[in-house]
Structure 1
């Protein structure tokens, strides 16, 4: 079962609420999504994640496993993306984050292959 913070993080993401998601971050927090450029600061994270949300029609995270060690969390996920063409695709992912002394995320990394999400329809 996922911890409260993990549940709240993915509830905000699944609601496609970039602002709510960015509020989990420290002012100088950093997010790296896949092989994308790092986003630094809550404002940049909200903008970047919000832009990503425009490329899909929805998404849902299913927590497979979660490991929490002190300020570090690792979450194994199955993520279902609803594509703009009406199809859905589920891909594995891992999210890793670190909390600062105020329990805000200061470093968040998402490891995922999004190629199936944007592959041409066959």
Structure 2
């Protein structure tokens, strides 16, 4: 049985955004968010506004030596996207752990993010 997956059709801005995430580029990722946007990762409290989102991103990006997203499916309803992905984290000790995630992104034209909710259980990464 093949484990290869077909490429997923995703908006260009979304692919560019996740490229910045995978580069651990805090300021590049932050630039995609509206000034009053919110972001929630897993079961953490939502971060609201650029300063809070920057703090959350900085924390997450220092935990890992690398992150890689592989889209499984993207659903686009206009102002809301849902992204199913396999996220592979490379830990500081060199382990690679893949976990499933579903992200809901409410956005404006051009990909300005108003709200991002990342449904993920990162527990296996800590193990």
With structure 1 as the length reference, what TM-score do the two structures score? 0.92
User: How far, CA to CA, are the matches of 1:45 and 1:33 in structure 2?
Assistant: 10
Q: How many residue pairs were aligned?
A: 119
1:54-93 residue pairs with structure 2 within 5 A? Answer: 54-93=62-101
User: How far, CA to CA, are the matches of 1:99 and 1:91 in structure 2?
Assistant: 25
User: How far, CA to CA, are the matches of 2:105 and 2:89 in structure 1?
Assistant: 22
* Secondary structure at the counterpart of residue 57 of structure 1: strand
Runs of 4+ residues deviating >6 angstroms? none
- Aligned match of 1:6: 14
Q: Extract unaligned runs of 5+ from structure 1.
A: none
Q: Is the 8 A contact 1:26 1:100 kept in 2?
A: no
Q: Extract unaligned runs of 5+ from structure 2.
A: 1-8
- Aligned match of 2:122: 114
Task: Please tell me the root mean square deviation across aligned C-alpha atoms, in Å.
Answer: 1.3
